[in-house]
């Protein structure tokens, strides 16, 4: 048995140092675990929203939508199809090539793959009128261009035809409701008649719906139709039993038939159409049939407007009421505080559902303004401001009074400027509350275009959730989370400090 080592200062120091490191390690481990729990769902949602199949199981982190080489090719394909590497698409008169490698071992069929265009327009939240499909216009040509061993490379060429013989400036336009002739609205809002100067164009007259994006040629004969602009170029490649598809310019979005059938939902995606496809869809495929505007965009605007109104009202009313309750003496003050602030907070808002709904209905306020009125003064906010003002030194007001300030001047010139941190805390909580508010908007808002983002997203869920279009739902959810995250990151440091402590010198 050995005697215990004497505890020298050096040993003690080492032990303390180990303790410090151990503590730091625990702390960091704890923070890592917590951030994994809190950020994990968001990151997973974000990644899944980029995938072709968000339900993919087991989920992979190595997704082509985030692979630089693939994004580069998506850009190049977009440039080929439309001249725009961001938006992509297939424009009239353009030619796109796409390569597929097929392995045909000896004994297997040596035939080239069957390549077809297929119609693809996802069912949208509010059905956008049927868009022209590349399949009905473009021509395909498949050619073997290289051979290495038993693997052959085939080049598929997609040609989008020009429907006019006229030359001149090319302009983008949207077809309007048809009457006796075809008309289109130009970018500047002007509506012009569209001539169809070739038999190929005339064949198409009754196939194109209002809302279709087209290219026109402006020339001496007026505006003629160059052709519809296709948002996507969906391509399908099928090989025979025994053959294998071993590579393609872009990775396939769907594989079926034991890997012998590849579908590419868009071979001219551009970067936005490839990596951010679901995000672009959230904006594009939710058009209001009446106005043609993006519903998702309206919902974002409505949410911002509602959140802004709520914050403005809270800042004004809560600080005034909080100050009055904290510093003014008037009969019934405590009663007001008990009933109007504390008791109101104890009653869940669902209890007032019927009465408030009927009241707002009778006032004709079943809209955003009614929603605002319903949450105009936040009892919690009044409470927060009251507690904050009670914590402020009375000396500030006394010195203001000595300088001849009345109650209003004292409030606006002395107290309110000091209340910055409380106001910011109030604003952030109110903003977040309004942004995430679901119950009341769901009850009050009726019209598709007047929804806030939360109700709109539940609409997404209803339509796509049952059908598994989770990519779109996730994209919407990620977009709706961003403002709150930004708000917290930018404003969290203002939570901390007030200058009031240093205002009074001992």
Partner 1 sequence: MNAPRRTLLGLTLAACAALGSAHAQTTIKINGYGGTDPAVVGDLINRFVKPALAKDRITVVYEPLQGDYNKSLTTLLAAGNAGDVFYLPAETLDGFVATGKVLPLNGLVNTGPFIKSLNAAFTRGGRLYGVAKDFNTLTLVYNRSLFDEAGVKYPDGTDTWATLQTKLTTLKQKLGPDYAGICLQPNWDRFGAFAFATGWTQFDSKGRTNLADPRFAEAFNFYTGLARNKVGIQPSEVSEGWTGGCLKTGKVAVGIEGNWVVNFLRDNAPNLKFGTALMPKNPKTGQRGNFLYTVGWAINSGTKNRAASLKVLNILTSPQVQQYVLEQGLAIPSRTALTSNAYFRKTDPGAQNSRLVFDGADDGNVRAFTFGPQGADWSKPINEALAAVLSGQKSAADALKKAQADMNTFQKR
User: What SS3 class is residue 364?
Assistant: coil
275 or 448: whose CB is closer to partner 1? 448
Residues in region 123-182 near partner 1 by CB under 8 A: 123-127
Shortest gap between Cβ of 459 and partner 1 (angstroms)? 6
Task: Please classify residue 501 by burial: count the beta carbons closer than 10 Å to its beta carbon, then call 0-12 exposed, 13-18 middle and 19+ buried.
Answer: exposed
Which residues, other chains included, contact 430 with Cβ-Cβ below 8 Å and sequence gap of 6+? 307, 310, 311, 314, 378, 381
436 is a contact residue toward partner 1 (CB under 8 A) = no
Minimum distance, C-beta of residue 17 to partner 1, in the bound complex (Å): 49
Encoded tokens for 73: 């090719």
- The answer to whether 253 and 261 have CB atoms below 8 angstroms apart is no
Per the CB < 8 A criterion, the answer to whether 299 and 368 are in contact is no
Cα gap 299→304, rounded to integer Å: 9
Q: State the Cα angle at 164 between 163 and 166, rounded to 5°.
A: 165
Q: How far is the CB of 274 from partner 1 (least distance, A)?
A: 17
Q: Phi/psi at 376 (nearest 5 deg)? A: -65, -50
Concatenated DSSP letters of 36-58? HHHHHHHHHHHHHHHSS-TT-SS
83 binds partner 1, rule: CB under 8 A: no
Residues 234-273 vs partner 1: string with x where CB under 8 A? x-x-x---------------xxxxx--xxx-x--------
Residue 287 to residues 95, 126, 268, 294, 470: CA-CA distances in angstroms?
30, 6, 23, 4, 19
Residue 466 is a binding residue for partner 1 (CB under 8 A): yes
Report the residue number, 125 or 271, with the smaller CB distance to partner 1: 125
Minimal distance in Å, beta carbon 160 to partner 1? 20
State the minimum distance, in angstroms, from the CB of residue 390 to partner 1: 43
Shortest distance, CB of residue 462 to partner 1, whole angstroms?
A: 6
Find the binder of partner 1 among 455, 473, 475, 479 (CB under 8 A): 455
> What is the footprint of partner 1 within residues 277-306 (CB under 8 A)?
289
**203 Cα distance to chain centroid:** 39
Q: How many residues belong to the site for partner 1 (CB under 8 A)? A: 39
Closest CA relative to residue 480, chosen from 285, 313, 282: 282
Q: Which of 63, 401, 416, 463 binds partner 1 (CB under 8 A)?
A: 463
Instruction: Work out whether 120 is an interface residue with partner 1 (CB under 8 A).
Output: yes
Task: Catalog residues that contact partner 1 under the rule CB under 8 A.
Answer: 55, 57, 118-120, 122-127, 234, 236, 238, 254-258, 261-263, 265, 289, 357-358, 361, 442, 446, 448, 455, 458-459, 462-463, 466-469
């Amino acid at each position: 048995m050995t005697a215990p080592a004497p505890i020298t200062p050096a040993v003690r120091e080492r032990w303390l140092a180990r303790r410090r490191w151990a503590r730091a390690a625990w702390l960091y481990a704890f923070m890592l675990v917590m951030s994994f729990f809190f950020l994990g769902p968001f990151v997973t949602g974000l990644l899944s929203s980029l995938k072709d199949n968000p339900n993919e199981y087991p989920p992979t982190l190595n997704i082509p939508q985030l692979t630089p080489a693939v994004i580069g090719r998506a850009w190049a394909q977009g440039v080929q199809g439309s001249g725009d590497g961001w938006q992509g698409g297939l424009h009239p008169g353009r030619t796109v090539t796409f390569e597929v490698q097929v392995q045909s071992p000896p004994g297997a069929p040596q035939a080239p793959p069957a390549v077809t265009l297929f119609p693809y327009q996802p069912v949208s939240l509010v059905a956008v009128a049927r868009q022209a499909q590349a399949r009905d216009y473009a021509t395909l040509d498949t050619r073997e261009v290289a051979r290495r061993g038993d693997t052959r490379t085939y080049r598929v060429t997609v040609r989008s035809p020009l429907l006019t013989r006229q030359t001149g400036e090319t302009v983008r336009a949207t077809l309007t409701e048809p009457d006796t002739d075809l008309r289109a609205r130009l970018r500047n809002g002007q509506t012009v008649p569209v001539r169809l100067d070739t038999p190929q164009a005339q064949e198409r007259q009754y196939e194109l719906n209002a809302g279709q994006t087209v290219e026109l040629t402006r020339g001496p004969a007026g505006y003629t139709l160059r052709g519809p602009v296709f948002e996507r170029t969906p391509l399908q490649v099928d090989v025979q039993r025994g053959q294998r598809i071993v590579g393609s310019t872009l990775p396939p979005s769907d594989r079926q038939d034991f890997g012998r059938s590849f579908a590419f939902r868009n071979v001219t995606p551009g970067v936005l159409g490839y990596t951010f496809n679901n995000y672009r869809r959230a904006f594009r495929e939710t058009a209001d049939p009446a106005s043609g505007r993006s519903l998702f965009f309206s919902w974002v605007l409505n949410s911002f407007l509602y959140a802004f109104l709520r914050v403005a009202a809270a800042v004004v009313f809560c600080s005034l009421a909080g100050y009055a309750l904290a510093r003014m003496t008037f009969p019934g003050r405590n009663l007001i505080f008990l009933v109007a602030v504390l008791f109101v907070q104890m009653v869940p808002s669902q209890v007032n559902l019927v009465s408030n709904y009927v009241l707002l209905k009778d006032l004709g306020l079943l809209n955003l303004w009614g929603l605002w009125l319903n949450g105009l003064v936040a009892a919690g906010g009044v409470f927060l401001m009251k507690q904050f003002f009670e914590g402020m030194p009375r000396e500030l007001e006394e010195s203001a009074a000595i300088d001849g300030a009345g109650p209003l001047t004292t409030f606006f010139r002395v107290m309110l400027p000091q209340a910055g941190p409380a106001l910011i805390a109030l604003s952030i909580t109110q903003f977040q509350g309004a942004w995430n508010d679901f119950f009341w908007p769901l009850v009050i808002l009726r019209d598709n275009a007047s929804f806030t983002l939360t109700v709109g997203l539940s609409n997404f869920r209803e339509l796509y959730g049952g059908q598994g279009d989770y990519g779109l739902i996730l994209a919407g959810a990620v977009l709706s989370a961003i403002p709150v995250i930004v708000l917290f990151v930018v404003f969290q440091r203002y939570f901390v400090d007030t200058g009031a402590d240093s205002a009074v010198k001992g």
